[in-house]
Copies of this chain bind each other. A is one copy, B any other.
Amino acid sequence: MELTPVTDLPEIRPGDDIAALVADRADLEAGDVLTVASTIVSKAEGRMANLEEYPVSGRAREIADRLEGITGEEKDPRFAQAVLEESMELLIDAPFLLTETRFGHISVNAGIDRSNVPDHDILLLPKKPTESAERIRSGLAARGIEDVAVIVTDTCGRPFRHGQRGVALGWAGIPASRDWRGELDRDGHELGVTVQSVVDELASAANLVTGEGAGGTPAVVVRDWAFGDHAGSDELFRSVEDDLVRQALREWSIDD
């Protein structure tokens, strides 16, 4: 398996065609996986915003005041409002905001970025990252580059372990996970590990070569990796019913 960053991408602006920009700079082949950082997808989709666009609700003001009291740092209620508008559910409200975005991804501040945004205050995540991935995949196909899987990636933290790692937000041309059920180990026992989140692992692998910041390369080509002969699933984001940690956080927030 080989990972190559796509270099020399320009600063992305609203309306830019990411498929075209990548196709001109990368030597893509059928079977490749292309990862694209959500920052440039968001920029192409015009997901920049300014805080003055967010009239503050009572709830946002309450959240910002509480955060300010706990952290001792100034908190802009307009930012809290932006987080709420991008979210379906608030899982943790202090000392930081952890929410479920409208497309099911759980992250701090609904994944809203305050760096990497020229001429605007904030950058929202793509509205529907799987549709974004499909659009890029179709754009490549329209240029004769068929059979390239596309993953829209982000980085985020997690419980239990320090540090951020790359994750998938949306994907096209590849299932989110592959299923090893029914496979046997060397001794003929059925495997305990059954579902492998390949899109997250590909996003993590890509994040090792993209870098962050000024020298960052927001797109990566993964070659010589194959999904193989497995059943696949597109369920990546857990529902509350299926997630004891979300259940515990709910009770904990209510008790609070």
Contacts and interface: CB of A to CB of B under 8 A. Distances in A.
Interface of A: 1-3, 11, 92, 106, 113-118, 155, 158-167, 176-177, 180, 183-187, 189-193, 195-198, 200-202, 204-205, 207-209, 212-214, 216, 225, 233, 235-238, 242-249, 251-252, 255
A199 to B, nearest CB: 9
Nearest to A167: B161
A192 B115 contact: yes
A209 B164 CA distance: 22
Contacts of A243: 159-160
B248 A161 contact: no
A30 to B, nearest CB: 19
A213 B2 CA distance: 23
6 contacts: A1-B2, A165-B196, A180-B212, A191-B212, A247-B252, A248-B251
B197 A213 contact: no
A92 to B, nearest CB: 6
Contact of A213 (B114, B184, B209): B184
A197 B1 contact: no
A193 B114 CA distance: 10
B191 A213 contact: yes
Given A187-B118, A201-B166, A201-B205, A106 B160 contact: yes
A10 to B, nearest CB: 10
A54 to B, nearest CB: 19
A24 B51 CA distance: 60
B193 A155 contact: yes
Contacts of A159: 158-160, 238, 243-246
Contact of A92 (B163, B196, B200, B244): B244
A201 B195 contact: no
B163 A195 contact: yes
Most buried by B among A11, A167, A205, A246: A205
Given A160-B243, A162-B197, A213 B116 contact: no
Contacts of A201: 165-166, 204-205, 207-208
Most buried by B among A3, A189, A213: A213
A136 B150 CA distance: 37
Contacts of A189: 114-117
A113 B165 CA distance: 26
